[in-house]
Amino acid sequence: MSETLISQGNESAASASIGVRPEWSSEEIRRLNETFAEKPAEALLAWALERFHPRIALASSFGAEDVVLVDMLWRLRPDVRVFTLDTWRLPTETYDVIDRIRERYGIEVEIYTPDPTDVAEMVRAHGYNLMYRSVELRKLCCHVRKVKPLERALAGLDAWITGLRREQAVTRAHVAKIERDVRHGDRLKLNPLADWSWEQVWAYIRRHDVPYNVLHDRGYPSIGCAPCTRAVQPGEDPRAGRWWWEQNPALQECGLHVPHDPARVGIVLPSGEKSSS
């Protein structure tokens, strides 16, 4: 089994971009979405791996959707690249499932962590649990612990894969299977499960006996950092347990997929840096 790769601060496990990434016009994206609209997720993944490997990777939080994609990708190409963002505040159960996935599939997991200096300065200025004090401070925490590490994780990639589904939240209702991700360096962003239901996700997990986060069995359909995640009640939105105290579904994103810039709302980033969101 390969060792987990860990990237911290400004040191990236991925090399800097080599050559020029292919550019995608709106018309090309539209045609690709038409081509794969009715095809299974595996067909899109097979095309993407053939087209981009090794400059493509799955961004995984190891929730239900992501472990499905790990299994699909591994069946297509055992040397698939998978990375995760370790915010240093994840639940123990998330670390457990990362280990079980590595053992089951024998894959490397590239782990990206926040810059220690950024975290130290943020905590010094706003405290450990700043996320509870305001939406702006919560977004700052997400920016430092997630968004900036993601930028390093994407270095050297032409495309990335996510587990986004339209059913997950109002902020994701119009997710396309294939997107031009201008915000993250004009890469291709693939969401193969965009049209899947929650029932389809779990049918796949059970059919293939895929390891999953046991918090799903305890009422957690969406799992993020431990301080920012709770179980949901019957009838609640699947992401209602994320940043539940904000009570506004339109705001309940960390910034990885819906842009927000802490600097625009008067929050100073560590070291006086301005967000690139």
* Partners of residue 59 on adjacent β-strands: 83
Question: Residues with Cβ < 8 Å from 7, sequence gap 6 or more?
Answer: 13, 14, 110, 111, 112, 113, 149, 152, 153
**Is residue 130 within 8 Å of 141, Cβ to Cβ?**
yes
Active-site entry in 141, 225, 228, 254: 254
Helices (H), 127-272: 135-142, 148-153, 198-208
Nearest to 213 by CA among 86, 109, 63: 63
- Spatial separation of the C-alpha atoms in residues 192 and 231, rounded to whole Å: 26
**Is residue 114 within 8 Å of 145, Cβ to Cβ?**
yes
- Spatial separation of the C-alpha atoms in residues 38 and 192, rounded to whole Å: 11
Alpha-carbon torsion 259, 70, 48, 111, what sign?
A: positive
Query: In the annotation, is 228 catalytic?
Result: no
Q: How far is CA 112 from CA 37, 132, 214, 230, in A?
A: 32, 24, 23, 24
**Is residue 113 within 8 Å of 8, Cβ to Cβ?**
yes
Q: How far is CA 129 from CA 123, 135, 190, 227, in A?
A: 8, 12, 33, 8
Helix, coil or strand: residue 241: coil
- Spatial separation of the C-alpha atoms in residues 197 and 45, rounded to whole Å: 18
What are the residue numbers of the active site?
254
